[in-house]
């Protein structure tokens, strides 16, 4: 499978994604600089985490206008797989490829720690390797991860099963205490209505080897690879 990782000024998780895909999963991976206008031949585009353009203005709001984003939007409209991780999720929101917006964490502080996630929909391209309501542990590292949407958008997300992961307790309970950033409805990741664009705040690329003490992130990458094979 051919993966493309978009690199913006300030991106800092591009090498993490590249390493996991190339070394752990033995997939074909290449970088595309944000000033390029074409993606080339690819099967899945990844917008990695970091601080694109220093997070000036709103997170992702400048990166959204990078030349390469027109190609990403065309690719998504044609059904191509697109994964946005952390800042990549924020960029997808700014670009309108996913609904809603990000606010600052309720604590107004940067948060970097492991969190528990409950799998709300395991029938997608990005989650088919997971079991229904499976609990996984994946790290977060963000200042603006407080997902917000209008009541109408939230209702649609719930009705259409577009909420993919929710922050939860170790036992899988969805509660305020297990919500690290104040995110609406404990949302940690959502997918578009068509099912090919997925954004999440946690970092699966940072927990895809047992060398790091946890490989729960492998579920997401395995799901993508298996979906393409099918």
Partner residues linked to 30 by β-bridges: 4
Task: Give the E-state strand segments of 14-134 in sequence order.
Answer: 28-33, 44-47, 81-85, 101-103, 111-119
Confidence (pLDDT) at 57: 81
Examine the pLDDT at 230 and tell me if it is beyond 80. Answer: no
The rounded distance, in Å, linking the Cα atoms of 161 and 159 is 6
The rounded distance, in Å, linking the Cα atoms of 186 and 111 is 15
Residue 177, number of CB atoms within 10 A of its CB: 8
Do residues 207 and 214 touch, judged by C-beta distance below 8 A? yes
Q: Comparing C-alpha atoms, which of 150, 148, 118 is closest to residue 134?
A: 118
As a whole number of Å, the CA-based R_g of the chain is 16
CA 17, distance to chain mean position in Å, is 12
Examine the pLDDT at 229 and tell me if it is beyond 80. Answer: no
Do residues 76 and 39 touch, judged by C-beta distance below 8 A? no
The strand pair at 146-148 and 81-85 is best described as unpaired
The domain tally of the chain equals: 1
- pLDDT of 191-212, one tens digit each? 999 999 999 999 999 999 999 8
Domain that holds residue 178: 2-229
Average the pLDDT over 36-59 and give the result.
94
Active site residues per annotation: 86, 203, 205
Burial of 229 (0-12, 13-18, 19+ CB in 10 A): exposed
Looking at the chain, the whole-number percentage of residues with pLDDT higher than 70 is 100
Give the three-state DSSP class for 175. Answer: coil
- Here the CATH number for the domain that contains residue 207 is 3.40.50.880
**Residue labelled with tokens 């068509």:** 194
Confidence (pLDDT) at 56: 82
- pLDDT of 149-183, one tens digit each? 999 999 999 999 999 999 999 999 999 999 999 99
- pLDDT of 48-91, one tens digit each? 999 999 988 889 999 999 999 999 999 999 999 999 999 999 99
Task: Give the E-state strand segments of 68-126 in sequence order.
Answer: 81-85, 101-103, 111-119
The rounded distance, in Å, linking the Cα atoms of 140 and 86 is 8
Do residues 149 and 99 touch, judged by C-beta distance below 8 A? yes
Length of the chain: 230
């Amino acid at each position: 499978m051919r993966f493309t990782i978009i690199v913006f000024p300030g991106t800092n998780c591009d090498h993490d994604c590249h390493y996991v895909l190339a070394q752990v999963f033995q997939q074909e991976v290449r970088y595309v600089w944000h000033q390029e206008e074409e993606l080339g031949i690819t099967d899945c585009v990844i917008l990695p985490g970091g601080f694109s353009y220093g997070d000036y203005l709103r997170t992702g709001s400048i990166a959204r206008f990078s030349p390469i984003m027109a190609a990403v939007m065309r690719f998504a409209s044609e059904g191509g797989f697109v994964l946005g991780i952390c800042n990549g999720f924020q960029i997808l929101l700014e670009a309108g490829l996913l609904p809603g917006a990000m606010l600052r964490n309720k604590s107004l502080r940067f948060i970097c720690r492991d969190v528990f996630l409950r799998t709300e929909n395991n029938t997608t391209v990005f989650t088919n390797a997971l079991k229904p309501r499976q609990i996984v542990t994946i790290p977060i590292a963000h200042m603006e991860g407080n997902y917000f949407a209008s009541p109408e958008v939230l209702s649609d997300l719930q009705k259409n099963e577009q909420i993919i992961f929710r922050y939860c307790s170790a036992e899988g309970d969805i509660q305020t205490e297990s919500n690290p950033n104040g995110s609406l409805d404990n949302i940690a990741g959502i997918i578009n209505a068509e099912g090919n664009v997925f954004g999440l705040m946690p970092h699966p690329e940072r927990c895809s080897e047992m060398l790091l003490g946890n490989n729960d992130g492998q579920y997401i990458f395995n799901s993508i690879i298996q979906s393409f094979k099918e």
